[in-house]
Amino acid sequence: MHLSSFFMKGRTVNRKTFAKKRTVKYTEKTMNSTNKASIINGKEIALAARERVKAEAASLRSKHGVDPALVVVLVGTNPASKVYVRNKGKACEEAGVRSIQHDLPEETTQAELLLLIARLNADPQVHGILVQLPLPGHIDEHIVLEAISPRKDVDGFHPYNMGRLVAGTPQLVPCTPYGVMRMLEFIGYDLTGKDAVIIGRSNIVGKPMALMLLHKSATVTICHSKTKDLPAKVRAADLVVAAIGREQFVKGGWIKPGAVVIDVGINRTTSGGLVGEVHFDAASQRASFITPVPGGVGPMTIAMLLENTITAARLAIGHKAKA
């Protein structure tokens, strides 16, 4: 059973871990005693997911002799990318997933990078491959991402994996929207018939997020920089997913009373603090549930990367058995 397939019709998810930790469940009128939104704690949900990954990794080693391994490729010295890669390595270590890192210089050619990816694709000891974005300007990231084997594409960006998501038969899915679905599952939010607005149309979040919500029978609207009267569309939404890449873009007054608000963005202010794409304090006065920044969607993205690595290891076992 594919670990990420809980959001697809006819497939299941192990809810025991969620049930132990869930303290507040969504209802149509959910608000806490202070009339502020309840916080969806991404750190807590991610911790449960990572504990599950650790158990799965141990099972793969004991039952199949497979040591799940994730390779991260970093090209250049982008400071934010270095932090992300370090955090991923730490998360792997804590979850019992073997982490391998390839640090390549800024001047690495596209041909050299593709050669490395080809070697990693052919290595049976490597189950997941992640090329950290952004890449230097002289390298075409689309060509690079398509060079990764779909069975090792733990970012879920390969056209094959995106196509399977469109068709409703997911294999490896983009980590951030996958994490958002887990958060909605955690609070018991039934998406059937809900009006969902996604602000942002990227291949990384917006588009796959829309597909995942659609598969759960939500009515989905994707908004973007050219959308007319965006505030009105947001005010009509039962669920708002902000992923447009603009600091505190969504105003509190745009939020429909009782709506669920998922803030995907993270931005550093001039004072050094971190904020999302939603005016948190104002939105909290109207929403029923809201994700914080930091501590919301961010931890879930890394946790889902680990789950995808476990899925890729299981795919490798199945592929070997058929060979």
* Measured distance CA(51)–CA(20) in Å, rounded: 13
Q: Which of 153, 155, 238, 263 is catalytic?
A: 155
**125 labelled catalytic:** no
Half-sphere exposure of 217 (CA within 13 A, CB side): 6
Q: Which of 36, 54, 82, 132 is catalytic?
A: 132
Q: What DSSP designation does 250 have?
A: B
**155 labelled catalytic:** yes
**132 labelled catalytic:** yes
What contacts 90, CB < 8 A, 6 or more positions away? none
Q: Which of 20, 36, 67, 88 is catalytic?
A: 88
- Cα 219 vs. chain centroid, distance in angstroms? 21
Longest dimension (CA), the chain: 60
Helices (H), 102-259: 110-122, 141-147, 159-167, 175-186, 206-215, 230-235
What contacts 204, CB < 8 A, 6 or more positions away? 157, 174, 176
Q: Which residues does the annotation mark as catalytic?
A: 88, 132, 155
